[in-house]
Amino acid sequence: MLDSPVVIATWKFGTGACQAAWESFEKDGSVLDAVEAGANQVEENEEVNSVGYGGLPNREGVVELDAAIMNGVDHSAGAVCAITSIRKPISVARMVMEKTSHVMLAGGNARRFALQNGFQNSDLTTPASREKFNQWKLEQTAPDVAHFDDREKAWNEDGGSLDQVSHDTVGVCGVDINGNLAAACTTSGLAWKTPGRVGDSPIIGSGLYVDNNVGAAAATGNGDEMMKVCLSYRVIFLMDQGASPQEACEEAIKYLLRKRPDHQQHGAACIAISKTGEIGNAATQEGFSHPNRLWEFALVRSGHVILHEGVYVPAQV
Ligand code: SD4
């Protein structure tokens, strides 16, 4: 038995996710509820322009969200991809997991499912996200470049404070005191993406993976690259072979860098937690070690939320 549940979440905004996850744990002790509550907190934070409400839209100005959740206890999973006009997509993903015999619903039909199950039709854009989109329309940079350039600009305009700069996907991994695990992953994906593009986040094994005998992992970064190596599955596979969560995260990122050497500049990162509450993380150095996109993750244990600086894996490995 662990002396405390543990939750980890990607990026600086993961502190909000960890706080919400802890409050949920205090209510009912459920790790699945905790990771969902953590993901919801970031989805509903309009300051975060890469997740949920306020997320940046595709190249036609439409916000398309991807989300997935996995429950270690029964190895069940649910996901939605390219869903529009619905807030809290992780909760729709959970409903797919619990109310259907399927794993993933896509696009308009995911939206229809959500509406049939009590979710409301909502405008996901905010004045800030609309302004960024209009600005981008004038510049028309490529999606992945824009994704990061946007941070660069925000960083500069903000005088270098990371607080106002949004980072990427939120992945939330948790373990309860009995060693049961769950994970959630939710994002608006790459800004200005091609309509219909789906990233790694809602793909089981890529954006997240849970094995209740081993651990839980989640990924953030350029999904078009990470998907090619099933990053989260690889982390858990390595842990199952005996690696610690830290060793497994570093090994998985090295594997990505070996397989896609021409893509080292792209950001990719993962977090992991073991059944015993041990944690790990790693990121590509060239993609994420710039001041405007420092790789960080948050942790909560015994009610204390801590922001951690992440570990970088250099390109030549
Ligand atoms: C995606 N992995 O859609 C997500 C976005 C992200 O850093 O995490 N960006 O590719």
DSSP string, 42-59: HHT-TT-TTSSTT----T
Q: Determine if ligand 1 sits within 6 Å of the CB of residue 89.
A: no
Strands (E), 176-253: 181-187, 208-211, 215-221
pLDDT of residue 156: 47
* Beta strands at 296-301 and 304-309: parallel, antiparallel or unpaired: antiparallel
**Measuring CA to CA, which residue among 273, 259, 141 is closest to residue 208?**
273
Are 107 and 86 in contact by the 8 Å Cβ rule? The answer is no
Q: Residue 158 has what pLDDT? A: 45
Q: Percent of the chain beyond pLDDT 90?
A: 82
Q: Which of 159-163, 193-197, 221-225 is predicted least confidently?
A: 159-163
Give me the pLDDT at residue 315, please: 75
How far CA 314 is from CA of 13, 31, 144, 280, in Å, comes to 25, 34, 21, 17
Cα of 3 from ligand 1 centre, angstroms? 33
313 lines ligand 1 (CB under 6 A): no
Q: Which pLDDT tens digit goes with each residue over 120-155?
A: 999 999 999 999 999 988 887 655 554 554 544 544
Predicted pLDDT at 143: 56
Average pLDDT, the chain: 91
- pTM (2 decimals)? 0.93
Q: Please compute the mean of the pLDDT values over residues 77-97 and round it to a whole number.
A: 98
The string of pLDDT tens digits covering residues 17-51 is 999 999 999 999 999 999 999 999 999 999 999 99
Q: Above 70 in pLDDT, residue 236? A: yes
Name the percent of the chain lying above pLDDT 70.
90
Q: Is residue 222 lining ligand 1, measured as CB closer than 6 Å? A: yes
How many Å apart are CA 166 and CA 143, to the nearest integer? 16
Reported as a single tens digit per residue, the pLDDT across 176-187 is 999 999 999 999
Q: What is d(CA 69, CA 52) in angstroms, rounded to the nearest whole number?
A: 15
Atom of ligand 1 nearest to the CA of 193: 3
The per-residue pLDDT for 289 is: 78
169 annotated active-site: yes
Catalytic residue, chosen from 10, 15, 84, 169, is 169
Kindly report, residue by residue over 253-299, the tens digit of the pLDDT: 999 999 998 777 778 999 999 999 999 999 998 878 777 678 999 99
Neighbours of 66 (CB within 10 A): 30
